[in-house]
Amino acid sequence: MQIETITTKPYQDQNPGTSGLRKKVKVFQQTGYLENFVQSIFDSLEETQGKVLVLGGDGRYFNRVAIQIIIKMAAANGFEELIIGQGGLLSTPAASHIIRKYQADGGLILSASHNPGGPDEDFGIKYNVNNGGPAPEKFTQAVFQRSQVIDQYKTADIPDIDLDNIGIAQFEALKVTIIDPVTDYAELLETIFDFKVLKQSISSGYITLLFDAMSAITGPYAKRILVDILGAPADSVINAEPLEDFGGHHPDPNLAHAHELAERMFSDNAPVFGAASDGDGDRNMITGSNIFVTPSDSLAIMAANAHLIPAYKAGLSGVARSMPTSQAVDRVAASYKIPCYETPTGWKFFGNLLDAGKITLCGEESFGTGSTHVREKDGLWAVLFWLNLIAVKRQTVADIVQEHWQKFGRDIYCRHDYEAIETPIANGIVDHLRAQLPTLPGQVFGEYLVSYADEFCYEDSIDGSISKNQGIRVGFENGSRIVFRLSGTGTVGATLRIYIERFEADPEKHNQEAQTALAFLIELAEQLCEVKQRTGRSEPNVIT
Ligand code: G16
């Protein structure tokens, strides 16, 4: 094979965010843009010669084009084998599993997750390391630095690969293996959950369910696992065909974007269980008949009941949550006397704790939960976890939630997002908050006494690495919190996220609507950051 070295000019904006590089498709289509970033990744690896790389994406627009480019570059950079999902498809958790199962050296996952897809929308790419998880910050920073000075990339003159047929092709030293994207992952889930009980509960009609794949990657996975293997009726999975533009929707599993599911779940004849996943299959939204379970509560409930799931019956070594996630799981950990870790936003921060066996379960407010089984959050895993709980507890989703609140109290929680703010305005908001940090402690707002105000800085207990500026926290003496952060996953301007929580021990007050129960803290948060004055907005774009 002939290898060409192409001269290129660096782009200055290839700084990976919370989860890889996410930009508009048109940005990725610029001459050499994708190639520069991929070569920067390859250049930042210790070795590419003779290595094995997993490759796949969520099927969004530009996925197939990008895969062909990457195959040629991988060949030129000396990789020995590429393992690619049929059609170029792999969900993020499946990619993580395949890296681990086949002991690959790493993987490139092509996705912009829950961001919309299409020629005018978003694309993304990230590198996962050999534990199956997202590369740590040290690596992503090295890639960014390399991308700022890169002046050439390598590509090989091999023909486009047929991505649609399972099998092995050899191009001189490069082996290209096209695999079924679902089989390995489905087998993994079968080792975790009680498929016999699940089949019985579904076939007997005890569990009725609805899964919204949001025209994204989980369609084929959900059809195989929920319908073909577990026996749910075919119409239990909606929007099951992955589309390059997700049918024009945001593949974001929340009540606003999964509206078809939401309408069915909040109707008179709602199924027992409803869920949705996102573009690349790592997020999950859990609902039951006429109830929505917040991701923070879902994590806490999973932790409290994990011993009922076959893979976790020996108990959990520990749990972790991202800093802005509610403290509900902390209460479970305290009650079970297991450690609870608080990490910055970004799944990559859980990797070391999972690898070291310090935690078994972890999760985030951003609709992500996962465990030691892979090194990514996992949407369908969370769905099966809940189905397994319903099947063995013989309770509805609402009853499971109520029982949990009775036992542990309720952390009433919400997040307000102000999207696409002009970057200087968003930075001004953060600077304004930062300036108040020294004087906030000791101040009283209504019944809330500020006990601390700081900027979250994380020291990884395994490798000692330090991550600064991970969000501004205002904590109150009664355990309530307000957290402010700028998102690291948006592609237009800046997104301000405001996270608000308050603990309610009194069961009489557990069924309050969150926005009402948190109204005082929401207003206080808005005043502290001056978001409305500074942006001219009257309300957030999304409330979750
Ligand atoms: C990614 C990360 C998550 C993070 C989420 C939101 O998820 O993997 O850890 O919580 O982004 O991040 P941010 O608040 O910075 O936008 P995904 O599903 O988008 O890959």
Which residue puts its alpha carbon closest to atom 6 of ligand 1?
A: 366
Taking the model in full, what pTM does it have? 0.93
Beta-bridged to residue 238, according to DSSP, are 212
We report the CATH number of the domain holding residue 452 as 3.30.310.50
Q: Could you tell me if the CB of 487 is within 6 A of ligand 1?
A: yes
Q: Could you tell me if the CB of 58 is within 6 A of ligand 1?
A: no
Q: Among the atoms of ligand 1, which is closest to the Cα of residue 278? A: 18
pLDDT at 249: 87
Residues 392 and 286 grouped into a single domain: yes
Q: Among the atoms of ligand 1, which is closest to the Cα of residue 377? A: 8
Which residue puts its alpha carbon closest to atom 1 of ligand 1?
A: 19
pLDDT at 489: 80
As averages over each run of 10 residues, the pLDDT of the chain (544 residues) reads 96 92 97 98 96 97 98 97 97 98 98 95 96 94 97 96 95 95 98 98 97 96 98 97 94 91 96 97 97 97 98 97 98 98 95 96 97 98 98 97 97 96 95 96 95 96 92 95 91 92 92 93 95 93 89
Give CA–CA dist 490/372, Å, rounded.
28
Residue in 407, 408, 416, 389 with CA at minimum distance from that of residue 328: 408
Q: Could you tell me if the CB of 364 is within 6 A of ligand 1?
A: yes
The model's pLDDT over 392-412, given as tens digits with 9 standing for 90+, comes to: 999 999 999 999 999 999 999
The model's pLDDT over 22-80, given as tens digits with 9 standing for 90+, comes to: 999 999 999 999 999 999 999 999 999 999 999 999 999 999 999 999 999 999 999 99
Residues 380 and 419 grouped into a single domain: no
Tell me the CA–centroid distance for residue 114 and ligand 1, in Å.
9
Domain termination residue (choose one: 390, 408, 426): 408
Q: Could you tell me if the CB of 93 is within 6 A of ligand 1?
A: no
Residues 32 and 60 grouped into a single domain: yes
Q: Among the atoms of ligand 1, which is closest to the Cα of residue 488? A: 15
Residues 101 and 201 grouped into a single domain: no
Residues 195 and 335 grouped into a single domain: yes
- Residue 389: half-sphere exposure toward Cβ, Cα within 13 Å: 27
Residues 502 and 539 grouped into a single domain: yes
For the chain, counts of helices (H) and of strands (E): 18, 27
Q: Could you tell me if the CB of 470 is within 6 A of ligand 1?
A: no
Residues 176 and 202 grouped into a single domain: no
pLDDT at 270: 97
Grouping H, G, I as helix, E, B as strand and the rest as coil, residue 541 is coil
Q: Among the atoms of ligand 1, which is closest to the Cα of residue 376? A: 8
Residues 481 and 496 grouped into a single domain: yes
pLDDT at 491: 78
Pocket test for ligand 1, best of 347, 367, 484, 499 (most atoms within 8 A of CB): 347
Residues 155 and 190 grouped into a single domain: no
Kind and range of the H or E run holding 530: none
Domain termination residue (choose one: 152, 181, 210): 181
Domain termination residue (choose one: 381, 408, 435): 408
Residue 113: active-site member: yes
Residues 311 and 387 grouped into a single domain: yes
Residue in 16, 14, 252 with CA at minimum distance from that of residue 126: 16
Residues 446 and 376 grouped into a single domain: no
pLDDT at 351: 93
Number of domains, the chain: 3
**Per-residue three-class SS string for 46-104:** CCCCCCEEEEEECCCCCHHHHHHHHHHHHHHCCCCEEEEEEEEECCHHHHHHHHHHCCC
Residues 367 and 439 grouped into a single domain: no
Structural domain of 486: 410-543
Single out the catalytic residue among 113, 201, 236, 289. 113
Q: Could you tell me if the CB of 114 is within 6 A of ligand 1?
A: yes
The model's pLDDT over 164-212, given as tens digits with 9 standing for 90+, comes to: 999 999 998 999 999 999 999 999 999 999 999 999 999 999 999 999 9
pLDDT at 17: 84
We report the CATH number of the domain holding residue 75 as 3.40.120.10
Pocket test for ligand 1, best of 19, 299, 416, 497 (most atoms within 8 A of CB): 19
